[in-house]
Amino acid sequence: MGNPRKVCAYPYIIWIIGFTVIPLGIIVKYALTDSTGVFSLYNILAIAQPVHLKALIFSTEVAVICTLICILLSYPLVMSLKRLGYMGKRFSIFVLILPMWINFVLRLLAWQMILSNNGLLNALLELLHLPTIAIANTKTAMMIGLVYDYLPYMILPIYNCIDEIDDDLIDAARDLGANGFTVFLKIIFPLTIPGLLSGIVMVFVPSMTSFVTANVLGGGKYQLIGNVIEQEFMTTMDWNLGSGLSLILMIFTLISMVFTSGNEEPGKESAIW
Amino acid sequence: MKKKIIFAALLTAFVALSLSACKSQAKDSITVFNYSMYIDPEILDQFEEESGIHVNYEEAPTPEELYTKYKSGAISYDLLCSSEYMLQRLMSEGELKEVDFSSFENKDNMSSRCMEMCKDIDPEHKYLMPYFWGTVGILYDPDKTNGEITSWDSLFNGEYSGNFIMQDSMRDSFMVALKYLGYSANTTDEAELLEAKELLISQKPQVQAYHVDEVRDEIIGGNAALGVIYSGEGYYAYQENDRLKYCIPKEGSNYWIDCFCMTKDCKNVEGAKKFMDFLCREDIAQKNFDYVCYSSAMNSVVDNYSDAEKNFPAVNPSDEELKRCEMFKQLPKETTEKMGEYWKELKAR
Amino acid sequence: MVEKLKNFICKFYLLLITLFLHIPVLLLIVLSFNGSRNRTSWGGFSLKWYKKMFSSSQMMDAFSNTILISFCAASIATVIGLLAALGISAMKNRGYGIMLAATNIPMVNADIVTGLALMLWFIKFIPLGFTSVLLAHITFDIPYVVLSVLPRVKQMNVAVYEAARDLGANGIYAFFKVVMPQLYGSILYGFFMALTISMDDFTVTYFTRGAGVNTLSTLIYGELKKGIVPEMYALSTLIFVVVFVILLIVNFGSVRKEKKAVAA
């Protein structure tokens, strides 16, 4: 029977079965039946329809770009953080997390106000006698919103990894003649891969489905796969089709999970609190 | 030590919160489903105060979402407020309950003109309590347009490319295209629908955004020159900035009426009736009109229109303007599906 | 010289990103003091929205719901998650792997799928409302607790607990006196993480809520279509400031002590 302490996990096991496994099972059931409850693959195959395929490809494209931008912004940031003292680091991380306490939807609204044709950004450009830009309700505006939302989720895990790297290791490499770039490529980057992977997991799938961001900043002109699913459920009321598309999305989630499984302790304590 | 103290504090806070969560809910309550921001919230408070009936209030942005949410059965509603074509659909599905309007204290305040509008759906006035009505038109800022706007053409001829906003609602968008092409907004003809779809698709690159009610703030804020808008939002915008103008295009448009009705599963019939009656009371109706800004279905409010309200086409359209407009009808299932498919195609572009 | 330049570039970049993350927040704070209702024009400094927000019952309800749901969900999740972490750490390879994978599901699954799955499940047996939102929040909160407590439990010195038992302490007493003190930090971290996620959640709440139950997120989303009332900026600013102060005290109150400990 093993360790009696296992009993402690039973409430959680019941919870997982009741609120994770069964609900996902229901999605699968809806996905594999038609509106009369007869088995059908129609809802799964519906992803091949041009309308859905387009949304899926577009979402993947957006998610890839968003993840890449987040990675490119995060590395210089965590490298800069590493140069700071203990207090400086702690304070910086604290400041980076702080915006999360203003409501998500309100933050998006604030971006809408900043980017609109008559907004803050264009007012600033005018003040500097530069030409104004029509960035509101474009793909760029949507990308800015997505990167803004998910950047902290990329920074934190990478930072946690980089913070653990022993300075002596870097000094040793330098003494042996490695330049800054080599140090980064040969030491820092490989050691941050676990953090990078969990960052990608936290950013990629969520940015494929962020229907609110697409609606608010994209002006309703861009359809992520999340928008399509939301509409199937809330407007068209085709729950079977919505579930079918959700199931396709879960495949992406599964791919993400393969990434995390190699990563023993994804929720390591960081310096937020 | 410090962490322990924080821990203890949190535990106390949790217990206190859980206890307050158990505060007894008012037993007598009704659940009301309405469009977003379609009632002055103070009226809900006032109703609770005067009647002792608690109102669970729920909102949906469009008729389609309202219908879906109601049909999903996730929440059991007592009262619904929706537009005529959705009400027609609900009625044909047997979802509504008859209401004895003659027992209302304020029954005489309901405008007969509005009851006339519902005649096709509810000929004997047994189900629907008219609430507000209005039209769909174009709100524009004359300083940013080349003169007066009188036609849907301004949205299709490329003159204001990137500078106008369309409605993010399937039927309204198709209505605009169909009317512009000279067809009925209730067409079931596939060729006509297809033509409308092609038109909307070719228009998409010029559209700044598809919005529902945000259109109003975008135009007030000067972010766009013109936009397709519901009349009440147009009047609200006019109150904020009296330079703005509202027009019902010459090709015709859509007019609609929103009514309250009781669901077939209504659990608190007396409470629901009291609520409807309350909305018909003169002072409440006036307060609601001042907040909502759509054309009221209450006599007392209409008689009290100010000169500005009487002359603004969004509040008080002329008979000639109304004659160009057409009400939505419930479309046959195939047409709705076709339109839904086209709409998805348009949005996915 | 080069080092100085490098330092400058690093600090500048840090500042730039901080600015990027904080500009929307600053804008909202400024707007909460705007005398005009219109968000595109400045109507002078005013505190009227702060006075007005307390009289909006809709907003106060949403606020108390948000606080209540996120605190209750985070607390219940902390209890279940702590027990789970203790239990899982005792498992062997296969059980351990399965549990870890199951824990990861709600974290990596798209919010929209979690929300929809729960909605489809809930409508089969309970009316959507406060309870359904609470259950949903507990569901996505637990993994954050488990994943922050579990590594600590694994590092924990089991010998101390056994020593306490040998010395005659009963199981419960030994647990609270010996085990818990080692875990306070990670439990607290898990709790706060759950609280933050819960407070900020929109998608799952949107799909599992019922009539009249709004959290701040869903209320704002509803208002978005019609234009946000400025009272909302005021309330958000207030929340932001309160959280800022609390976190500052919790965070940097303890730092000083830790530093002392390091120095000693």
Locate the domains of chain A by residue range. 48-236+246-261
Instruction: With CB atoms and an 8 Å threshold, state whether C23 touches A114.
Output: yes
Instruction: With CB atoms and an 8 Å threshold, state whether B10 touches C75.
Output: yes
Instruction: With CB atoms and an 8 Å threshold, state whether B75 touches C119.
Output: no
For the domain bounded by B134-255+316-348, which CATH number is listed?
A: 3.40.190.10
User: From the candidates C37, C133, C225, which should be mutated to test the interface with B, based on the most B CB atoms within 10 A?
Assistant: C225
**B138 DSSP assignment:** E
Is pLDDT of A263 > 60? Answer: no
Residue type, C51: K
Which of chain C's residues have a Cβ under 8 Å away from the Cβ of A30? 120
Which of chain B's residues have a Cβ under 8 Å away from the Cβ of A50? 345, 348
pLDDT at position B184, please?
Answer: 94
Residue B17 phi, psi (nearest 5): -65, -40
Pairing of strands B96-97, B164-167: unpaired
Q: What is the DSSP string of A23-84?
A: HHHHHHHHHTB-TTS-B-SHHHHGGGSHHHHHHHHHHHHHHHHHHHHHHHHHHHHHHHHHTS
pLDDT at position C90, please?
Answer: 84
pLDDT at position C109, please?
Answer: 85
How far does B71 lie from chain A, in Å, by closest CA? Answer: 9
CA-nearest residue of chain A to B343?
Answer: A51
Distance set, CA A251 to CA A19, A233, A247, C108 (Å): 20, 20, 7, 11
Instruction: With CB atoms and an 8 Å threshold, state whether B67 touches A237.
Output: yes
pLDDT in tens, B120-152: 888 989 999 999 999 999 999 999 998 899 999
Q: How many residues in chain B?
A: 349
Name the residue facing C147 among A24, A105, A266 (closest C-beta).
Answer: A266
pLDDT in tens, C92-109: 888 888 888 888 888 888
pLDDT at position C56, please?
Answer: 82
pLDDT at position C255, please?
Answer: 53
Overall fold of domain A48-236+246-261: MetI-like fold (1.10.3720)
- Rounded CA-CA distance B257/B115 in Å is 10
CA-nearest residue of chain C to B9?
Answer: C188
A117/B contact by beta carbon, under 8 A = yes
- Rounded CA-CA distance A67/C218 in Å is 27
pLDDT at position A15, please?
Answer: 94
pLDDT at position B48, please?
Answer: 92
* B90 in Cβ contact with B261 (< 8 Å): yes
Instruction: With CB atoms and an 8 Å threshold, state whether B17 touches C185.
Output: no
Domain limits, chain B: 25-133+256-311, 134-255+316-348
- Rounded CA-CA distance A125/A129 in Å is 6
Which pLDDT band, with edges at 50, 70 and 90, does B284 fall under?
Answer: very high
pLDDT in tens, A167-186: 888 888 888 888 878 888 88
Non-local (6+) Cβ contacts of A271 within 8 A are: A89, A90, A93, A160, A163
Mean pLDDT across A256-265: 61
**B254 DSSP assignment:** B
Mean pLDDT across A58-76: 95
pLDDT at position C145, please?
Answer: 93
Name the residue facing B222 among A118, A219, A228 (closest C-beta).
Answer: A118
For the domain bounded by B25-133+256-311, which CATH number is listed?
A: 3.40.190.10
pLDDT at position A272, please?
Answer: 38
Instruction: Choose the most confident range, by mean pLDDT, from B69-83, B190-204, C234-248.
Output: B190-204
Is pLDDT of B180 > 90? Answer: yes
Instruction: With CB atoms and an 8 Å threshold, state whether A209 touches C110.
Output: yes
User: From the candidates B5, B10, B37, which should be mutated to test the interface with C, based on the most C CB atoms within 10 A?
Assistant: B10
pLDDT in tens, C40-97: 677 788 888 898 888 888 888 899 999 999 999 999 999 999 999 989 988 888 888 8
* B243 in Cβ contact with B195 (< 8 Å): no
Instruction: With CB atoms and an 8 Å threshold, state whether C255 touches A90.
Output: yes
Name the residue facing C211 among B56, B211, B214 (closest C-beta).
Answer: B56
pLDDT in tens, C145-171: 998 898 888 888 777 888 888 888 887
Is pLDDT of B264 > 80? Answer: yes
Which of chain C's residues have a Cβ under 8 Å away from the Cβ of A205? 108-110
Domains and CATH numbers, chain C: 58-228 (1.10.3720.10)
C253/B contact by beta carbon, under 8 A = yes
pLDDT in tens, A113-142: 899 888 889 889 999 998 888 888 999 999
Q: C90 is written with which tokens?
A: 């005792």
User: From the candidates B4, B14, B244, which should be mutated to test the interface with C, based on the most C CB atoms within 10 A?
Assistant: B14
Q: A113 is written with which tokens?
A: 């106000």
Is pLDDT of C222 > 90? Answer: no
Instruction: With CB atoms and an 8 Å threshold, state whether A96 touches C217.
Output: no
In degrees, rounded to 5, the angle at the alpha carbon of residue B96 between the alpha carbons of residues B95 and B98 is 150
* Dihedral sign computed on CA atoms, order B227, B233, B235, B240: negative
Which of chain A's residues have a Cβ under 8 Å away from the Cβ of B71? 237
Q: Is B249 helix (H, G, I), strand (E, B) or coil?
A: coil
Helix (H) or strand (E) holding C108: helix C93-108
How far does C166 lie from chain B, in Å, by closest CA? Answer: 26
Instruction: With CB atoms and an 8 Å threshold, state whether C127 touches B76.
Output: yes
CA-nearest residue of chain C to B45?
Answer: C57
Residue A66 phi, psi (nearest 5): -60, -45
Instruction: Choose the most confident range, by mean pLDDT, from A84-93, B280-289, B328-337.
Output: B280-289
How far does B69 lie from chain A, in Å, by closest CA? Answer: 7
Higher pLDDT, C52 or C205: C205
The per-residue pLDDT of chain B, averaged, comes to 88
* B294 in Cβ contact with B132 (< 8 Å): yes
Is pLDDT of C258 > 80? Answer: no
How far does A257 lie from chain C, in Å, by closest CA? Answer: 7
Mean pLDDT across A95-116: 88
Which of chain A's residues have a Cβ under 8 Å away from the Cβ of B338? none
C68/B contact by beta carbon, under 8 A = yes
Mean pLDDT across A192-221: 89
Mean pLDDT across A74-90: 87
Which pLDDT band, with edges at 50, 70 and 90, does B250 fall under?
Answer: very high
C124/B contact by beta carbon, under 8 A = no
Which of chain B's residues have a Cβ under 8 Å away from the Cβ of C222? 36-37, 59, 61
pLDDT in tens, A242-256: 999 999 988 888 887
Is pLDDT of C37 > 80? Answer: no
Which pLDDT band, with edges at 50, 70 and 90, does B23 fall under?
Answer: very low
Higher pLDDT, B264 or C177: B264
**B330 DSSP assignment:** P
Instruction: With CB atoms and an 8 Å threshold, state whether C226 touches B10.
Output: no
Is pLDDT of B248 > 50? Answer: yes
Tell me the whole-structure pTM to 2 decimals. 0.86
Residue type, A221: K
Which pLDDT band, with edges at 50, 70 and 90, does C263 fall under?
Answer: very low
